[in-house]
Amino acid sequence: MDRKSYTAELASLRELRAEITAAEKVVASAQKELDKLTAQRARRVAGLAGYEGAQAAAVAKASGLSVGDVVRIAPLLDPTPAAVRAAKADDPVSVAAPAPAPEAEPVAEPVVAVAPALTRPAPVLEQPAPAVAAPVVPVSVAPVAPVAAAPRPVAEAGPRELPTLPEGPAGARFEAVTTGLVSKRPNFVQQARATVFLDAAAGVLAVRDQVVRVDLGARTPGEILDAILATAPGTERIYITAGAPWHAGAERYSTLKDAVAAWLNTPSERWTTAVGSGRDKLAGHFVHQRQPVGRYAPASAPDSGSTEIRSMGEWFDPDGADVVTCRDAFRLLWQALRRHWDDAVLMGSPSQTGRDLWSRTIPTTGKWAGGYPVLSEELRGLLHATGGQGRTELILPPRVPEQLPALVEYDRTFAYAKHLWKSPVGTPRRITAAAFAAMTEAEQVKALMSCSHWNVRVTIPAGWNHVGLLPAPVTGDRAWVYPATPGATFTTWAGGAEVHLALSNHLMPWKVEILGGLLFEDGKPLDEWGKRLKAAWADLTNLSKLHGDERQRTAAYLASRAVRSVLLFGLGGFAQRPRLVSGTTPVGEALPAGVEILDQDDQVVTWQRQAGFSRDPYAHPEWAAYVWSGARAALLDMKYRQGKEVIGYAGALHAKPGTVVYFGTDGIALTERQPWPYRGEPGDYLLKGHLTGLVEHPTSQEQYLKLRGQGRAELAAKGTDQ
C-alpha cells in the first residue's frame, strides 16, 4: 500500500467512524426509549395489582410478558394457592414452582410498599458519637406481602384508629377542591378599632397618649365597660394587661373554664352579649381559661355597635410590664408591620391579624393570581384528624435517669418562620402503595421530599436506643405519642419531612411501608408573608437590644414576641379546626343538639358545641400540617447552612441517647449542654435555661415547667456564653 492509498483509507475510516457513531446514537436512543416503555409497562402492571379481581394470566397476555415475569413485578398477582405457598415456604429444599391456578387468592392485608433507606453524610460539627452505627442496606421497593411473624405493636394504652383514603367514587373527594371557594386578595382596607389598655388590678387605663385612673367597682364586665366608656367614649376594644378579672372567685367553681364562663355571662341591665355583624365583628363570647374574649353591646341598642374585652396575653406575656409599656409595645408592633404592609391594621387577635396580612400577599400575577383553592371538606377533615401540631413529650425513666445530672433547655428562635419557604398548593394527587412501588428510587425520594402527607406502617429497628421519630395516634388528651421501643410497629400519618428523616437519619434507618399518600405541587404561598414577618421581627429584636431607653427596649421585645404570635397563631388559623360555637338558652327551653353545658344560673344555660367546618375561604390545613411536620422534624435534626452548603447539625438526634428529657413544641430539654452555635436566626437553638446539680426527674408536665422556670432563673443569674 502506497502513501496515497493509506491516506485515502484513513479518510474512509473516519467516514465509517462517523456512521458508526451515528448508528450508536440511534441504538442508544432506541434503548432509552425501550427502557422507558419497559419501565412504564412495569408500573402499569404493578398498578393493576391494586384491583381485587386482577389475574396474572390476563395481565401477562395484555402486556406481552410471561406469568412468571408478571408475578416478579407484582407479587400480589401470584396465582399460587395460599396453602401451596405456605408449604413451599416451610420446605427450604422445594424449588419447583406449582402450576398456575386460574384464580388468584384474595389478599387479606392492604398493599404496601417499602420506602428505600436513604443515606446521608455524618454530621460535620463535633457531636456525641451515635450509639448505633449500622450500615444502610438498600431495600426492595416492590409491593411486599405481610411478614409471617408480625412485629410487636406499640405498647401504648388506648390506640386511636386514624382515617384512611377510601376507594372508588368516595375517594375522589380526597383529590378535589371545594367549588367556588378560593383564597383571594382582599379589595378593601381593614378599619382600625379604637383600642385602650387596662391594668384591671391597679385600675390604670392607657388611652392614646394619656394614663388615667378609673374606678372599676367589682370588676364585672358591665362595670369595666361603664368605667372605660365614660373615660374614653367610642372604645371598641379593651386589652387587660394585668389583673385577670375573669379569675375572680375561681375557687367557687370546679374548673377554671367554668369560672371564666360565669364571669363573661355576669348579668347586667346595661349590657348584653353582642350578636355581631359586618366583616370583622364576631358574635358571642369565647370561653378560654386564660385568654377569653367577651363581646358586649348596649342592652338598649344592641345593633349600635359592640365592645370587646380581651387579654393582652393573646399577643405576648406582659411579664410584669406596666400598662404604658404594653401600649407602647402595641404601637411599635403596628409601626414595624406598616414598614412591610402599607395597609397593615392590628385586629383583635394575632390569628386574625396574621391571616389578614397573609391575604395581602396573595400574588396578582402568575398561576395563583386568582387565589388559592380551598380543599374539599373531606380532605380538610382528613388533615385535621391526621396532622398533629407541635410535639409535646416528657420522656420518663428508665429511658432517662431517675436523677438528672442537670436540666438544660434549648428553644428554637422564631421556629416556624424557618419552615415557610415551601408549602403544598393546588389539588393533591393520590399515591397508592402500588403506584409508590412502581416508582424508581429517585422518584420515591423526590416524592418524600416534596410537599406530601403519607399513611405509613412503621417498624422501629432492633437496636434503636434513642427518641421516637414519628407520631403514633392514641386516645386522650395527648392525642399523639412517639414510640421508641425496638421492634415496635404502628400505623400512622406523617408529613414527608418526618418520613424522610425516619429513612435518612444518621443513626439507623427505620422501616417505613407506604400504605398510601397525598402528593401536592410544591409552591410558595407563605414565603412572602414569612419574609415580611421575619423582617419585622428582626427590626424589633434589634431595637430591643439597641434602644437607649429601658422602657422602649422592653416594649420592642414584647412587640417582637407579638410578631411571633402573629405568625404562630396565623398559621394555626389556616388549620381551620371545626368551629366551636357558644351561646345561651333561657332556663326551661330545649337546648340545641350536641351541646356541652358550660354554666347555668337562674335565667340562662351557657353552652358550646362543635359546628363542623365553615366555608372559610382562608382554610388551608395543608399548609399548617406541612409546617408543623417540618418543625417536628427539625426538633430531631436541623441543618446549619452557609449559603447552600450544610456546615453542621443540631437537634435531639445529635445528643447522646438517654439525655433528652422533654420536647415542647419548639424546644427541647436535655441533661447536658450541646455544642450548637447560636446565630440569632430563625430556627437556631438558643440556650434558655440551665438548672445544675442533681435534679429529681419530673413526673408530670407541671413539674417540668416548674423546673424549667428555675433553670431559666439560674441561667439569667449566672449569665450565658451564648
How does pLDDT run across 298-307, given as a tens digit for each residue?
Answer: 988 877 788 9
For the residues 362-387, what does the mean pLDDT come to? Answer: 91
**Strands 237-242 and 195-199, how do they pair?**
parallel
How does pLDDT run across 435-458, given as a tens digit for each residue?
Answer: 999 999 999 999 999 999 999 999
Q: Could you tell me how many residues make up the chain?
A: 722
387, 495 Cβ separation under 8 angstroms: yes
Assess whether pLDDT exceeds 60 at residue 140: no
Instruction: Report the SS3 class of residue 200.
Output: coil
Q: Which of 124-128, 612-616, 652-656 has the highest mean pLDDT?
A: 652-656
Confirm whether pTM is higher than 0.85. Answer: no
The mean pLDDT value of the chain amounts to: 84
Q: What is the pLDDT of residue 475?
A: 79
Which of 15-29, 58-72, 148-162, 656-670 is predicted least confidently? 148-162
Confidence of residue 53 (pLDDT cuts 50, 70, 90): low
Q: What is the pLDDT of residue 718?
A: 86
Q: What is the pLDDT of residue 580?
A: 62
Which of 42-51, 178-187, 549-558 is predicted least confidently? 42-51
Q: Which of 14-23, 76-85, 110-119, 661-670 has the highest mean pLDDT?
A: 661-670
Cα separation, 47 vs 435, in Å, equals 6
Instruction: Report the SS3 class of residue 449.
Output: helix
334, 327 Cβ separation under 8 angstroms: no
Confidence of residue 616 (pLDDT cuts 50, 70, 90): confident
Q: Report which residue type is found at 329.
A: A
| DSSP annotation string for 37-78 | HHHHHHHHHHHHTTSTT--HHHHHHHHT--HHHHHHH-GGG-
For the residues 517-540, what does the mean pLDDT come to? Answer: 96
Which of 127-131, 137-141, 613-617 is predicted least confidently? 137-141
Confidence of residue 613 (pLDDT cuts 50, 70, 90): low
Q: What is the pLDDT of residue 143?
A: 33
CA dihedral 665, 682, 501, 109 (to 10 degrees): 50
Cα separation, 627 vs 416, in Å, equals 7
Assess whether pLDDT exceeds 80 at residue 596: no
Assess whether pLDDT exceeds 50 at residue 142: no
572, 352 Cβ separation under 8 angstroms: no
Assess whether pLDDT exceeds 50 at residue 126: no
Which of 270-279, 394-403, 553-562, 565-574 is predicted least confidently? 270-279
Q: Report which residue type is found at 598.
A: L
Q: What is the pLDDT of residue 579?
A: 59
Cα separation, 526 vs 529, in Å, equals 5
Q: What is the pLDDT of residue 173?
A: 83
Assess whether pLDDT exceeds 90 at residue 333: yes
Cα separation, 273 vs 496, in Å, equals 45
Q: What is the pLDDT of residue 345?
A: 94
CA atoms within 13 A on the CB side of 77: 27
For the residues 462-471, what does the mean pLDDT come to? Answer: 95
Cis peptide leading into 398, omega within 30 of 0? yes
Confidence of residue 538 (pLDDT cuts 50, 70, 90): very high
Cα separation, 388 vs 390, in Å, equals 7
For the residues 304-318, what does the mean pLDDT come to? Answer: 93
Which of 188-202, 282-296, 404-418, 562-576 is predicted least confidently? 282-296
Burial 369-402 (b: 16+ CB within 10 A, else e): eebbbbbbbbbbbbbbebbbbbbebbbeeeebee
Confidence of residue 283 (pLDDT cuts 50, 70, 90): low
Beta bridge mates, 272: 297
Q: What is the pLDDT of residue 137?
A: 30
Q: Which of 121-125, 158-162, 419-423, 642-646 has the highest mean pLDDT?
A: 419-423
Assess whether pLDDT exceeds 70 at residue 245: yes
Q: Euclidean distance between the first and final Cα of the chain, in Å?
A: 84
For the residues 132-155, what does the mean pLDDT come to? Answer: 36
Q: Report which residue type is found at 525.
A: P
Assess whether pLDDT exceeds 50 at residue 501: yes
Assess whether pLDDT exceeds 80 at residue 87: no
Confidence of residue 433 (pLDDT cuts 50, 70, 90): very high
Cα separation, 392 vs 362, in Å, equals 33
Q: What is the pLDDT of residue 90?
A: 41
Cα separation, 619 vs 627, in Å, equals 15
Q: What is the pLDDT of residue 578?
A: 60
Q: What is the pLDDT of residue 628?
A: 95
The ranges assigned to domains in the chain are: 12-90, 191-314, 430-446+455-511
Burial 34-61 (b: 16+ CB within 10 A, else e): eeeeeeeebbebbbbbbeeebbbbebbe
